[in-house]
Amino acid sequence: MDKTQDIMQRVRRIEMQARRLVTATFAGLYRSGFRGQGLDFDEFREYTPGDEPRFIDWKVTARTGIPYVRKFHEEREQALLLAVDASASMRYASGLSPDSKLEYAARIATTLAYSAALNGDKTGLLIFGCNPHFYLPPAKGARQYLRVLSAILTAPPDGAGEDVASVVDELLRTQRKKTLLVMISDFLFAPDKQAIGKLNFRHELIPMRVNDPLEMTLPPAGRIYALDAESGAQFAANLSDASLRAEHAKRVHSHFAEWDKLFGQMAIDSLHLLTNDDFMPKLRALFKRRSRLFLH
């Protein structure tokens, strides 16, 4: 089978999976959890018990002596922007899952893009971690989610990891209107509070971290020879050494704990997924939380 046929088969397989998942369980939930991205100010009104405190306008309240809240109406058109990491580390698959991290990310992205298409919303895409980056401006329709899927699966494999600040700068340049921005990556780059803060201020950011199970816990597999996907460096390690495995687990935990702390400080709702997980339960739970937030 040549490369083109292989890509076409993978596109069809992932498309059918996304259609089945969204039609069965997710389309309405996606829409209810997507509210709040395209809200325009409408008018002020007096606060009533049950109103969301974050919508209180303190300047008007101070002038009048009566609590007032800002009332909004929802825009007819909303946009989903997918930022997908296609760096060399995202090509890794340990064999504990049939998917590499990149293909797993493609399945999540396609599920979200297909949901947006069913709801009449626009979807855009930025692929980073490859050379060159790929930007697909937000657009509507069924063809758009297929463009998203095809672009991720055919992203050039010659990229290396990059700092998150450069990715954020490109996202802010290419997408000026507030969107729901879903960033799908293994987040192996260093946390950057300033960059993430700028991105979350402009957009509604949802980071989705995708890792292979063997990245988190090394097996006692004896002596191995490994290749660093990002730098190309080769090294040997004896995984029978329990202290080596424990040190690796400690460093991995510390790295991702830094990211979790950053997201927590900024009240950013994030997901952590392993490639041998069914991502739909966590995705549904996320949008249920968002739905409750916007309905109250």
Q: Residue 2's pLDDT is what?
A: 63
pLDDT at 232: 62
Strand partners, 134: 127
Assessment of whether the complete model's pTM goes beyond 0.75: yes
Is residue 121 within 8 Å of residue 78, measured between CB atoms?
yes
Output b/e per residue, 281-296; b: 16+ Cβ within 10 A: eebbebbeebbeeeee
- Residue 53 in tokens: 């405190």
Q: Where are the domains of the chain?
A: 3-35+77-295, 39-74
- Whether the link from the prior residue into 220 is cis, omega within 30° of 0, is no
* Amino acid (one-letter) located at 115: S
Res 57: pLDDT: 80
> In angstroms, rounded to a whole number, what is the distance separating the alpha carbons of residues 209 and 174?
23
- What pLDDT, on a 0 to 100 scale, did the predictor assign at position 235? 64
- What architecture does CATH give domain 3-35+77-295? 3-Layer(aba) Sandwich (3.40)
Tell how strand 204-211 and strand 271-274 pair up.
Answer: parallel
Q: Which residues of 212-233 are buried (b: 16+ CB within 10 A; e: fewer)?
A: bebbeebeeeeeeeeeebbeee
User: Per residue of the chain (296 residues), what is the pLDDT tens digit?
Assistant: 566 677 678 777 887 877 777 776 676 667 666 554 445 555 677 877 767 677 788 887 888 888 887 765 555 467 899 999 999 999 989 888 888 999 999 999 999 998 888 888 899 999 999 888 999 999 998 889 899 999 999 998 876 667 899 999 999 999 888 889 999 999 999 999 999 999 999 999 999 999 999 888 777 776 766 656 666 667 666 677 788 788 878 999 999 999 999 999 999 999 999 999 999 899 888 888 876 654 44
